[in-house]
Amino acid sequence: MVSLLLYYTALLLFGISGVAGLWALRDPVPSRVQAQRGIAGAAAAVLFFFLAVEAFARGAPPLSGLFHSLLGVIFLLAAGGLAADLLFRIPALSLAVSLVGFAAMGGATTLSPGTGPGRPDLFASRWIGLHVACMLVAYAAFALAALAGALYLIAAACLKRKRRLDLVETLPSLETLDALEARAIGAGFLLLTVGLMVGYLVQRAETARATDWRMDPKVVWTGITWAAYLLVLLARRLPPLRGRRAAFLAVFGLLFVLFTYFGARTGFHAFDAPPAPPPAGGL
């Protein structure tokens, strides 16, 4: 029951934060902006407590199933978005994160029971826990880069057409958004690399036939995603591919992450256990 209450409280707070952010965009006075940030921070905090309650109930981090790992990514994205907002003064980013969090948590309530509890036994190994943590933080970093890239494209289009838009009025310079993109992609790529290396070592140690895991769909598509972001990082060093093109690549790269995360969940990565409804509180 506590878990259920925390879940829907976080969902409600993300929704209120989104509405407050839209209200603040119309007249971005400090009081409105601070109120929106506070509500977004409260939503992230409640979501964290939800995950903590789920972890206590299962005796392991609730991050192996689709339902709980998605909530983990939402929390990381919300925390990263708030940190970036405070560091770079980008209220629109906090708004975007709140809207994404509300939509994702709302969509998560429709997941089938088999996508709920996952397999807590996977976390008996600290190395698997490290692998999962690195991958989820990397996904959140790539999502943050995509949001920054989308804001860059909107701002650049408005500046080019000399159109006034409330959203653009609250944004920092294009250079600041580009710097945020670069840092988020760099951090995500580093963590993705570490996660892949740890996963490789774990599978080599636990799999009798090394060829079994190499054709696992999740492994294949994660490798493709890694290669895609390597190309994005290299492309950002080329003058013709900076600016709007780099922002587009940041947004486009997220498609690889989404397919890898939602589309490739078979083989060694079929972690969803049947049939207990998510979350533990009865959602």
pLDDT at 117: 46
pLDDT digits (tens, 9 = 90+) for 174-198: 899 999 999 999 999 999 999 999 8
pLDDT digits (tens, 9 = 90+) for 43-56: 999 999 999 988 88
CA pseudo-torsion sign 14, 19, 25, 31: negative
pLDDT digits (tens, 9 = 90+) for 83-131: 999 888 888 899 999 999 999 999 888 864 344 445 555 555 677 888 8
Kindly state the average pLDDT of the residues 247-260.
93
Contacts (Cβ under 8 Å, ≥6 apart) of 172 = 88, 89, 90
**What is d(CA 116, CA 226) in angstroms, rounded to the nearest whole number?**
27
Helix crossing, 66-88 with 126-161: angle to 10°?
50
Q: Which of 83, 104, 120 is the last residue of a domain?
A: 120
User: How far, in Å, are 13, 79, 93, 102 from residue 85 at the CA level?
Assistant: 18, 10, 6, 18
Entry pTM? 0.85
Phi first, then psi: give them for residue 34, nearest 5 degrees: -65, -35
**What is d(CA 63, CA 70) in angstroms, rounded to the nearest whole number?**
8
* Same domain, residue pair 201 and 182: yes
Is residue 277 a part of any domain in this protein?
A: no
Decide: helix, strand or coil at residue 49. helix
* Same domain, residue pair 98 and 195: no
* Same domain, residue pair 63 and 137: no
* Same domain, residue pair 188 and 108: no
* Same domain, residue pair 88 and 169: no
Q: How many domains does the chain have?
A: 2
Instruction: Return the DSSP state at 244.
Output: H
Question: Residue 70 belongs to what domain range?
Answer: 1-120
Question: Which residue's entry shows tokens 């997941």?
Answer: 111
Cα angle 98, 87, 159; round to 5: 75
pLDDT digits (tens, 9 = 90+) for 18-33: 999 888 877 777 888 8
pLDDT of 264 over the 70 cut = no
pLDDT digits (tens, 9 = 90+) for 192-236: 999 999 888 877 766 654 455 566 778 888 899 999 999 999 998
Q: Which of 120, 146, 162 is the last residue of a domain?
A: 120
**What is d(CA 60, CA 12) in angstroms, rounded to the nearest whole number?**
26
Please report the DSSP string for 81-99 in residue order: HHHHHHHHT-HHHHHHHHH
* Same domain, residue pair 257 and 156: yes
pLDDT of 13 over the 80 cut = yes
